[in-house]
């Protein structure tokens, strides 16, 4: 028997210390209600839990943002409803004034006076309707958002016959500015022509600026091409657009002389352009006095008609801005920088919903200067009011669709937040019933260790019986 080292007591004390620590941690978990009180409790679990907690906070704020967006749209729609009501009254007054049973010297001026009051009130509503300082119905505000442009698919139809020999170098050099001005998502393809349309392969639509520059750098004059076939080339280019491509489609036609080979009519090609919703941009000898060059200008003017395009000279001056112009006619409102608002409707970058402000001022609606005397002016006023009613109807329908979108997004955010909170709770929160079971186990073991330690400490005293 050894008395210098009481191994039994040492082992019992070690077990007592372990049980006491476990009981202390269990007590901490029970008192806090958390399974994770410090990183050492579960390092990997804590990392996941904190990531979920950050995501949850973002989702909750996004839900509040979306709620604010709903309130904004409701404010817009409520004000436009009143404008609708006033337009209805104006239409009623106009129909009344169109009847010759009313006196032009007494009755119609009285009707006009009420019309002026209604127009003034519409103007006041448009100017004064706002949400947290943001004007909602008075048109775009300067500096409201960063400029954005919609992507477009562009086919460049380019003459490379002998007549273009003196111009080709400058044209190739200046096309680089067009490539640089492409909005993100835009693509450009090429259709080159000389004496017949199939002598040079077409190049498909591409958004790679380096590839486009390499294509144009490699272009050379077709020395065998002595006649022009531009209209046939344009007709073929119309078929090069992809059905599911960009919404805005354009053809840039670069030629110094008129078509005299294909036998097609500019008016027929123009009709095809309009049917396919393609904007035509012509680049030619814009201000020439030479007969053939003047014919080329006349031909391009016929092709441009009604497409919203323009004609540029062969230096391509202004073509870059003209091709990707920021115009309402060729851009969706969500891409128009001046009348859009962003609602951050998610916890990550890019989780957004676009809202728009509307321009409901009488000047924009076309009713600012309407009159109902004499009778023919009343007819014109009725037409203007009908258009204004259609415009407000479209605005309200758009606002209603956006409100529905926001409400659905908010429901999804709230549902996601609940599920994330549940998952985070399973990592961080303690199961009280299970932990109480553990606590009683550690408590009993701690008491048992105390009792056994007392017994172990008494064991060396038995040595005295050997001595005595």
DSSP state letters, 435-454? HHHHHHHHHHHHHHHHHHHH
Q: Give me the chain's average pLDDT, please.
A: 83
**Mean pLDDT across the stretch 206-229?**
81
Classify residue 429 by its DSSP letter: B
- Please give the pLDDT value at position 14: 86
* Separation CA 43–CA 49 (nearest Å): 10
Q: What number is the average pLDDT over the span 350-364?
A: 90
Task: Tell which residue, 426, 411, 344, 421, has the closest CA to residue 53.
Answer: 421
Q: Specify the CATH number for the domain of residue 121.
A: 1.20.1330.10
275 domain-assigned: yes
Domain-embedded: residue 425 = no
pLDDT interval class at 108 (50, 70, 90):
confident
Of 282, 314, 330, which closes a domain? Answer: 330
**Are 180 and 301 within one domain?**
yes
Last residue of a domain, one of 330, 347, 379: 330
In a domain, 343, yes or no: no
- CA 172-173-179 angle, to 5 degrees, is 85
What is the torsional sign of CA 401, 403, 406, 407?
Answer: negative
Please name the residue that has the structure tokens 């609606």. 365
95 with 240, same domain?
no
3-state secondary structure of 250: strand
- The per-residue pLDDT for range 116-152, each reduced to its tens digit, is 999 999 999 999 999 988 889 987 644 343 345 667 8
Is residue 391 in a domain? Answer: yes
CATH number of 255's domain: 3.40.50.410
> What pTM was computed for the model?
0.50
Q: Is the pLDDT of residue 89 over 90?
A: yes
Kindly state whether residues 169 and 239 are assigned to the same domain: yes
Residue 228 has what pLDDT?
Answer: 67
By three-state DSSP, how is residue 251 classified?
Answer: strand
| Pair 211, 92 in one domain | no
Residue 376's nearest CA partner among 58, 98, 110, 121 is 98
- Is residue 237 very low, low, confident or very high in pLDDT (cuts 50, 70, 90)? very high
| Same domain? 272 vs 300 | yes
Q: Domain check: are 173 and 270 in the same one? A: yes
User: What's the pLDDT at 185?
Assistant: 80
Domain limits for position 370? 52-142+357-419
pLDDT in tens, 305-335: 988 888 888 888 778 776 775 433 333 333 3
Tokens of 275: 């049917």
- Residue 338 pLDDT: 46
- What pLDDT, on the 0 to 100 scale, is given for residue 71? 95
pLDDT at position 226 is 55
H-helix or E-strand containing 248?
Answer: strand 248-254
Domain shared by 101 and 248, yes or no:
no
Give the model's confidence band at 3: pLDDT under 50 very low, under 70 low, under 90 confident, else very high.
low
Cα–Cα distances (Å) from 231 to 234, 259, 268, in that order, read 5, 6, 10
The predicted-structure confidence for 8-67, as pLDDT tens digits, reads as follows 778 888 888 888 888 888 888 888 888 777 777 778 888 888 888 899 999 999 999 999
For residue 217, the number of C-alpha atoms closer than 13 Å in the C-beta half-sphere is 8
Q: Does 369 map to a domain?
A: yes
E strands of 231-295, at which residues? 248-254, 278-284
320 plus 250 within the same structural domain:
yes
Q: Are 221 and 187 in contact (CB under 8 A)?
A: no
- What is the C-alpha to C-alpha distance for residues 419 and 44, in angstroms, rounded to an integer? 20
The tally of domains found in the chain comes to 2
Asked which of 212-221, 336-345, 429-438, 446-455 is least confident by mean pLDDT, the reply is 336-345
Higher pLDDT, 378 or 222: 378
Q: Average pLDDT for residues 240-267, to the nearest whole number?
A: 85
Q: Could you tell me whether strands 248-254 and 203-206 are parallel, antiparallel, or unpaired per DSSP bridges?
A: unpaired
Give the contacts of 387 (CB within 8 A, at least 6 positions apart): 365, 366
Of 431 and 288, the structure prediction assigns the larger pLDDT to: 431
Phi-psi region of 318 (alpha: psi -120 to 50; beta: other; left: phi over 0): left
Map 94-141 to HEC letters.
HHHHCCCCCCCCCHHHHHHHHHHHHHHHHHHHHHHCEECCEECCECCC
- 188 in any annotated domain: yes
133 in the Ramachandran plot: left (φ > 0), alpha (ψ -120 to 50) or beta?
Answer: left
Given pLDDT bands bounded at 50, 70 and 90, which one contains residue 102?
Answer: confident
267 domain-assigned: yes
- pLDDT over 80 at 251, yes or no: yes
DSSP class of residue 239 equals: T
Residue 111 lies in a domain: yes
182 and 68 housed in the same domain: no
What pLDDT sits at residue 331?
33
- Residues 214, 170 share a domain: yes
Task: Give which of 423, 457, 393 is closest to 83, Cα–Cα.
Answer: 393
356 within 8 A of 339, measured Cβ to Cβ: yes
Shared domain check, 169 and 128 = no
Average pLDDT over residues 256-263: 81
In a shared domain, residues 269 and 192:
yes
Average pLDDT rounded to a whole number, residues 149-178: 84
Q: What is the pLDDT of residue 449?
A: 82
Average pLDDT over residues 175-188: 85
* Cα dihedral 441, 444, 447, 452 sign: negative
């Amino acid at each position: 028997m050894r008395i210098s080292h009481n191994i039994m007591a040492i082992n019992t004390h070690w077990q007592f210390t372990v049980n006491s620590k476990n009981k202390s941690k269990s007590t901490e978990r029970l008192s806090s209600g958390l399974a994770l009180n410090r990183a050492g409790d579960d390092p990997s679990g804590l990392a996941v839990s904190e990531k979920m907690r950050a995501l949850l906070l973002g989702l909750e704020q996004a839900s509040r943002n979306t709620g604010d967006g709903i309130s904004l749209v409701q404010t817009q729609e409520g004000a436009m409803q009143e404008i609708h009501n006033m337009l209805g009254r104006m239409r009623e007054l106009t129909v009344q004034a169109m009847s010759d049973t009313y006196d032009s010297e007494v009755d119609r001026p009285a009707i006009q006076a009420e019309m002026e009051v209604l127009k003034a009130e519409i103007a006041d509503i448009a100017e004064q309707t706002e949400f947290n300082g943001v004007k909602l119905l008075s048109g775009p505000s300067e500096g409201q958002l960063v400029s954005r442009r919609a992507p477009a698919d562009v086919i460049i139809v380019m003459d490379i016959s002998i007549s273009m020999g003196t111009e080709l170098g400058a044209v190739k050099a200046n096309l680089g500015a067009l490539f640089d001005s492409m909005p993100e998502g835009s693509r450009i393809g090429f259709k080159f022509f000389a004496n017949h349309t199939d002598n040079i392969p077409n190049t498909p639509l591409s958004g790679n600026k380096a590839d486009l520059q390499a294509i144009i750098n490699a272009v050379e004059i077709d020395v065998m091409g002595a006649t022009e076939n531009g209209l046939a080339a344009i007709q073929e280019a119309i078929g090069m657009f992809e059905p599911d491509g960009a919404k805005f489609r354009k053809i840039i036609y670069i030629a110094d002389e008129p078509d005299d080979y294909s036998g097609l009519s500019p008016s027929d090609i123009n009709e095809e352009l309009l049917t396919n919703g393609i904007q035509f941009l012509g680049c030619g000898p814009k201000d020439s006095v030479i007969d053939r060059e003047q014919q080329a200008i006349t031909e391009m003017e016929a092709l441009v008609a009604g497409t919203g395009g323009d004609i540029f000279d062969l230096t391509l001056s202004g073509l870059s801005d003209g091709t990707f112009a920021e115009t309402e006619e060729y851009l969706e409102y969500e891409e128009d920088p001046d009348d859009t608002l962003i609602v951050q409707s998610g916890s990550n970058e890019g989780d957004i919903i676009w809202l728009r402000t509307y321009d409901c001022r009488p000047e924009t609606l076309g009713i600012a200067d309407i009159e109902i005397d004499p009778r023919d002016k009343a007819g014109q006023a009725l037409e203007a009011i009908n258009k204004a009613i259609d415009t407000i109807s479209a605005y309200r329908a758009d606002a209603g669709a956006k409100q529905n979108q926001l409400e659905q997004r908010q429901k999804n955010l709230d549902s996601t937040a609940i599920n994330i909170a549940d998952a985070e709770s399973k990592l961080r929160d303690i199961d009280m019933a299970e932990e109480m079971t553990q606590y009683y186990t550690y408590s009993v073991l701690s008491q048992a260790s105390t009792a056994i330690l007392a017994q172990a400490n008494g064991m060396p005293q038995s040595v005295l019986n050997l001595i005595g």
